Structure formats: structure tokens, C-alpha cells
């Protein structure tokens, strides 16, 4: 993760309205809500573009790592633009880069890293991701090295 990420560096974007309850006593979106934004942009993409059936599918994605760096505040009633990209695509795992952008801003207020491992719903053992899911993730994969090369 690094500061200064730009919106144009994220091939997929989703507008997420903030809610009254997102603000904390300091008058900005509380840090835990940023992770909810991460979950929202990732899972909406997986369902809509990758065909992931979160309710009845044999395969589910489990988060095995996540982190967030904060550069600027977000606050209700802003609409946040969540940018999403894939930085590493494995056989059963995917590393995402996420940028959260305040309304009308081109520079990230926060950046994040999130790792999913796709597993069998019953056994919770890693499985090869289906081709439709792989194709959707490949469509937003960036080609240059990034923080996920660790």
C-alpha cells in the first residue's frame, strides 16, 4: 500500500453512500466502516461479474488478510467511490487493492489490501476458482508489481 493512489489506477469502481451511523464522535467515518466498504466493493464485483453465489454456491471466499492505510477523512453525507483492482491472482487465492475516494476527489483517502482464498463451502479447504470467477478477476488485474509481491 502506498499514499497518493489515484482513482484512474482502479479499473472497477463502485459508489457507496455513507450513512449517518458511519460517523463517529470525531465527526468522520469510523475506521471499522472502511473495512465494510472493502467487503462491499469486492463482493458486489464477485457476485455481479464473477457469478459467485454467496448463498448456495459450493465455493465461497474467505478473507485471510486485510489492512488499511488512512490518508484523509471521509464523512457522512459523502458518497465514497471505492476503486478495486486485482494485484495477484493465484489458483485459489486473489489479492485485491482497494482505494476509497471522497466525493469528487481523485486521490485516495484510504488504500487497502485484502486477500481472499476460495474454499469449498463444506470442507473449508482451498479449491481452484471457477473459470467465470477467474475471468472476472483477470479483467481488473493490474500488470505492474505492487505491494502484493511480498
Instruction: Delimit the domains of the chain by residue range.
Output: 7-142
| pLDDT tens digit sequence for 2-40 | 557 999 999 999 999 999 999 999 999 999 999 999 999
CATH of 7-142, picked from 3.40.50.970, 3.10.129.10, 3.40.50.1000, 3.30.70.20, is: 3.10.129.10
pTM value is 0.91
Model confidence at 104, in pLDDT bands (50, 70, 90)?
very high
- Contact indicator for 116, 61 with CB cutoff of 8 Å: yes
Q: Which helix (H) or strand (E) holds 134?
A: helix 131-139
Amino acid at each position: 500500500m502506498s499514499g497518493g493512489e489515484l482513482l484512474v489506477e482502479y479499473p472497477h469502481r463502485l459508489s457507496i453512500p455513507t450513512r449517518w451511523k458511519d460517523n463517529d464522535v470525531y465527526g468522520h467515518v469510523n475506521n471499522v466502516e472502511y473495512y465494510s466498504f472493502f467487503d462491499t466493493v469486492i463482493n458486489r464485483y464477485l457476485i455481479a461479474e464473477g457469478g459467485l453465489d454467496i448463498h448456495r454456491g459450493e465455493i465461497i471466499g474467505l478473507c485471510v488478510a486485510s489492512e488499511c492505510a488512512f490518508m484523509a477523512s471521509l464523512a457522512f453525507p459523502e458518497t465514497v467511490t471505492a476503486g478495486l483492482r486485482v494485484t495477484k491472482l493465484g489458483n485459489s487465492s486473489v489479492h485485491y487493492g482497494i482505494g476509497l475516494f471522497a466525493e469528487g476527489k481523485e486521490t485516495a483517502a484510504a488504500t487497502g489490501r485484502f486477500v481472499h482464498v476460495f474454499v469449498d463451502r463444506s470442507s473449508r479447504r482451498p479449491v481452484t476458482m471457477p473459470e467465470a470467477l477467474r475471468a472476472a478477476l483477470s479483467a481488473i488485474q493490474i500488470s505492474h508489481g505492487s505491494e502484493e509481491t511480498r
